[in-house]
Amino acid sequence: MTAVIERDIELLEPQPDKAPGFLARIPRPSFFSWIGIPALVFMALVFIVPLVVILTKSFTDPGPQNFSDAVNSGIFRRSLWTTIKMAFFVTIVCLLVSYPYAYAMARGGKLIVAVLLGALMLSFWTSTLVRTYAWQILLNNTGVINKTLINLGLIDEPIQMIRTNFSVYLGMAHVLAPFTILTLYAQMRTIKPELEQAAQVMGARPSVAFLRITLPLSLPGAAAGGILVFVMALGFYITPQILGSSRDTYIGTAIIQQVQVFLKTGVGAAESLILLGIVLLVLLVAGKFIGIGRILGLNKGE
């Protein structure tokens, strides 16, 4: 009995702290850590290594004066302004198209949601190149739209729609609108329909209820989707090249010209880094007001 009491007293006495060793403080890798290694290696090979190569070429082929040559190039400055203007208008078009689409998905029945969501996924699954060439077939002077208008007697000669800013904005909006639709849909799903119903019970028309309730509450999603589309539009090459006019040079075309036509790889690399810097600046400014997590879709439900 005495031995048991002494043992209990020893257990109750404060024990000296034993500092864990260095190896004990290192967290043991879990199963998910090991399976994430191939993904990290892939990201390094596909993104980090090319970026390092471009950075090296911009400063060494032939030297740091590549950046001054890029900035002083009139073609690059005009292409940069043309690209920024295009990205701005495409963002506006995407938001205007996405609001009614996302609202119908958020407030519609199961059948409507299934059809709209299926069409949205079909757009994602279709290649950008295929969609761009489809618009070329539709907008050509001998395309479907012009032929239909002529057969209906609405016009006498084809309307010049291809190789214009209109065709570029339309094709770009078709490619990028799904991103704004999804961000707006995710935001609108957090807005309770009872708020609009209460406003209509109080005498507000559905349009007024949307403008006074749904629209302000959905603005964070619209801002996040707009920033995402704007940034993605800055780096597009295929759609403006196929649908655009040779008079309007976009920044992707300007970089390609430096590399393939003028054989100035270093200047092309410098222009690419300038474009990357603009994208990072836009994301930095937007992140201050919106949050990078919301732009990337990581803050769902907020």
Q: Output the DSSP codes for 112-180.
A: HHHHHHHHHHHHHHS-HHHHHHHHHHHHSTTSHHHHHHHHTTS-SS----TTSHHHHHHHHHHHHHHHH
Superfamily per CATH, domain 66-295: MetI-like (1.10.3720.10)
Structural tokens at position 62:
């032939």
pLDDT tens, residue by residue, 236-287: 999 999 999 888 889 999 999 999 988 999 999 999 999 999 999 998 888 7
pLDDT the model gives residue 289: 75
Radius of gyration for the alpha carbons in the chain, expressed in angstroms and rounded: 28
Would you give the distance in Å from CA 289 to the centre of its chain?
17
- 230 vs 276: CA distance, rounded Å: 13
Residue 286 · residue 227 · CB < 8 Å: yes
What does residue 154 show for φ and ψ, rounded to 5 degrees? -80, -30
SS3 content of the chain, % helix, strand, coil (to 5): 75, 0, 25
pLDDT the model gives residue 234: 93
Would you give the distance in Å from CA 14 to the centre of its chain?
58
pLDDT the model gives residue 65: 93
Asked if residue 62 has a cis previous peptide bond (ω within 30° of 0), the answer is yes
- CA quadruple 57, 59, 65, 68: dihedral sign: positive
Structural tokens at position 91:
């963002």
One DSSP character per residue, 279-293 reads HHHHHHHHHHHT-HH
The alpha carbon torsion through 194, 198, 199, 200 (nearest 10 deg) reads: 100
pLDDT the model gives residue 302: 47
Amino acid at 89: F
- 58 vs 271: CA distance, rounded Å: 9
Reference 269, options 58, 83, 84, 1; nearest CA is: 58
Instruction: Classify the phi-psi angles of 205: left when phi > 0, otherwise alpha if psi is within -120 to 50, otherwise beta.
Output: beta
Question: Which residues, at least 6 apart from 161, have a Cβ–Cβ distance to it below 8 Å?
Answer: 139, 145, 146, 167
Amino acid at 128: T
pLDDT the model gives residue 21: 55
Query: Which of the 8 DSSP states describes residue 27?
Result: P
Residue 173 · residue 131 · CB < 8 Å: no
Query: Which of the 8 DSSP states describes residue 262?
Result: S
pTM for this predicted structure: 0.82
pLDDT in tens, the chain (302 residues): 555 455 555 555 555 555 555 455 656 667 667 777 888 888 888 889 999 999 999 999 988 999 999 999 999 999 999 999 999 999 999 999 999 999 999 988 899 999 999 999 998 899 999 999 999 999 998 889 999 999 998 888 999 999 999 999 999 999 999 999 999 999 999 899 888 888 888 888 888 888 899 999 999 889 989 999 999 999 899 999 999 988 888 999 999 999 998 899 999 999 999 999 999 999 888 878 776 665 555 554 44
Residue 105 · residue 131 · CB < 8 Å: no
Reference 136, options 163, 101, 107, 99; nearest CA is: 163
Largest CA distance in the chain: 114
Domain residue spans in the chain?
66-295
